[in-house]
Amino acid sequence: MTTTGAGHRARPDDWIEVDGLPGWAPRRGQILEVLGRPGHEHYRVRWDEEHESIFFPTEGTAIVHHRGSRSSAR
């Protein structure tokens, strides 16, 4: 797996890692679906806590590409 910053699109099966709030552990989840248009993507994510939600990326979010998935620059 490789971690990328801005400029790379997430794909289903990639992972999201989000910094935790002060006193909280970081969160990690698998992207199930990419929603929205380029530049305004958001994701349907299955979190490690075993629930799903729609996630809008913010500062402190990293995309970890699944080995074998291809990322493309925006």
Instruction: Report the CATH number that the domain containing residue 35 is assigned in CATH.
Output: 2.30.30
Domain membership of residue 73 (yes or no) is no
Q: What's the domain range around 20?
A: 2-65
How many folded domains does the chain comprise?
1
- pLDDT band, residue 20 (cuts 50/70/90): confident
Whether the full predicted model's pTM is greater than 0.85, yes or no, is no
Domain membership of residue 74 (yes or no) is no
β 52-55/42-47 pair status: antiparallel
Residues 27-59: pLDDT tens digits? 999 999 999 998 899 999 999 988 999 999 988
Tokens representing residue 33 in the block: 């679906």
